[in-house]
Structure 1
Amino acid sequence: MKVLLVDDNIRMAERIAYHLSRDFAFDSAESAEEALDKVDQSDYAVIVLDLNLPGMSGLECCRELRRRRNNTPIIILTGQNAVQTRVELLDAGADDYLSKPFQISELRARLSALIRRGQTRRHDAQIKCADLEINSTQRLVKRAGQEICLRRKEFDILHYLALNQGRILTREMIINNVWSDKTTSWISTVDVHIKHLRDKIDRPFDKPLLKTVYGVGYKLDAPRS
């Protein structure tokens, strides 16, 4: 599959494509708007976005892709190395970022890692637990055929629980797999998200799937007949 390289610096884009042409096939775009058009027409293994694009920025493009429920792995190239910038990129839905200047070998390694991660995502695209259906590619959730709207972190927690059906997951495990900032202050936040999840996927239906194991954590489990 192809890598979409989005950069208005044509010389930089050509340099990347030249040095990595043995490993990846590249398609290119010089603006976020052009990239969004290409993504609508083709599937890509990874999208490489420059942060400082003309018009719509790489950050805004990343947000728009996630708003459209496009789950293609995204790496953003940035000349800014501030912590706040990195946090904004990850919060916008980027899977990785690489600060300029960078070595081509590091970009190659990160692209390979994202492609492997993307392949794993596709294998786990459809998950079922009783009448609950989760499509991780489109980030869609349905129960009993009814679509349920979840916030980003709610979906991420539910997806992690679904991948581990029947297994008790502690709050720390959920934090380590869902949040990039793994500070203890997120402990109570997990409980809040679980409450919101329960309100959406359990309370309107007859049989609860999301269960609390008091003093330990949570699990998603189909009811026994």
Structure 2
Amino acid sequence: MHITIIEDEKILSNNIAKKLNRNGYNTKIFNSYNEFINENNLNSDLYIIDISLNDGNGFDIIKHIRSKRDSKTPIIITSGYWDLEKKIYGLDLGADDYLAKPYSIEELEARIRALIRRSYEKTNNSEIKYNDLIFNFNEKIIKKNGVIIDLTSKEIQFVEYMILNIGKPVKKIDIINSVWGKFDEIDVTDNTINVTISKIRKKLGKSFNLKTMVNRGYMLK
């Protein structure tokens, strides 16, 4: 999951990036309007944009992103100087959420997870793109760089369940009930889940960014 941070406060942007990187996200920082506008090869799954930049404003960046026919990638806008008109203007331009400074990085992460889930839930397509993977719900296949990956039916079910719950901690019991079924609950051990995850990671590599959440299960980021 690639997140672009456009923020002229370098300490803040570095702190955000460090926390997100530790939690499995890939981040790229731009500390000015011009630095971002001059970037030609940008691939992002979510934008965090400070409205009050030293050499421009974040509203123009939203216009730039949406003018590139990128109407779906979630955008969070931030500012230390909010009023109702600015909020409405930013949302009308195409932002999906806003945060007033100062804010906690934990709250920012929660909003990121919510927007990611919402963006997946909104899709009407039979396919979902996740990093460099494409999951086809109808055919139950996963492609990586255009090549179909050989997964077992249980591995496919596991990946599908985690994609549908992306950004949300999922308990082991819920995974068991969804992938193996309630009647198999007694026979499915922690080792069964661990072996399944190990095989999936071996086949999909770093593209499948699954994190173990202590006492909470697993979360796909």
**TM-score of the two chains, using structure 2 as the length reference:** 0.52
Q: Deviation of residue 65 (structure 1)?
A: 1.3
Query: Structure 2: which amino acid aligns with 1:85?
Result: K
- Superposed displacement of residue 63, structure 1: 1.5
**What amino acid does structure 2 have at the position aligned with 1:114?**
L
Q: Give deviations 1:50-90, integer Å, cap 9, x for gaps.
A: 11112221111111211221222110111123111110110
Query: Is 2:95 the counterpart of 1:94?
Result: yes
* CA–CA separation in structure 2 for the residues paired with 1:95 and 1:104: 18
- DSSP-derived class of the 2:52 partner: coil
Q: Which runs of 5+ in 2 are unaligned?
A: 128-221
Listed as ranges, the gaps of 5+ residues in structure 1 are 127-225
Q: Aligned partners of 1:42, 1:125: CA distance in 2, in Å?
A: 26
**Judging changes above 3 Å, is the alpha-carbon distance between structure 1 residues 88 and 125 closer, same or farther for their aligned structure 2 residues?**
farther
Q: Distance in 2 between matches of 1:78 and 1:35?
A: 18
Counterparts of 1:61-100 in structure 2, within 5 Å, are 61-71=61-71, 72-100=73-101
Could you tell me how far 1:5 is from its partner in structure 2?
0.5
Q: Is contact 1:45-1:118 (8 Å) kept?
A: no
Q: Which residue of 1 aligns with 2:118?
A: 117
Q: Distance in 1 between matches of 2:16 and 2:45?
A: 16
Aligned positions of 1:121-136 closer than 5 A: 121=122, 124=125
Distance between the aligned counterparts of 2:119 and 2:113, measured in 1? 10
1:105 paired to 2:106: yes
- Size of the aligned set, in residue pairs, is 125
What pairs with 1:22-61 in structure 2 (closer than 5 Å)? Answer: 22-23=22-23, 24-38=25-39, 40-61=40-61
Taking structure 1 as the reference length, the TM-score comes to 0.51
Cα distance between partner residues in 2 of 1:29 and 1:122? 29
Percent identity of paired positions between Structure 1 and Structure 2: 31
Kindly indicate whether structure 1 or structure 2 has the higher relative contact order, using CA contacts under 8 Å at least 6 residues apart: 2
Q: CA deviation at 1:102?
A: 0.6
1:19 alignment counterpart: 19
Change (3 A) 1:61 1:123: same
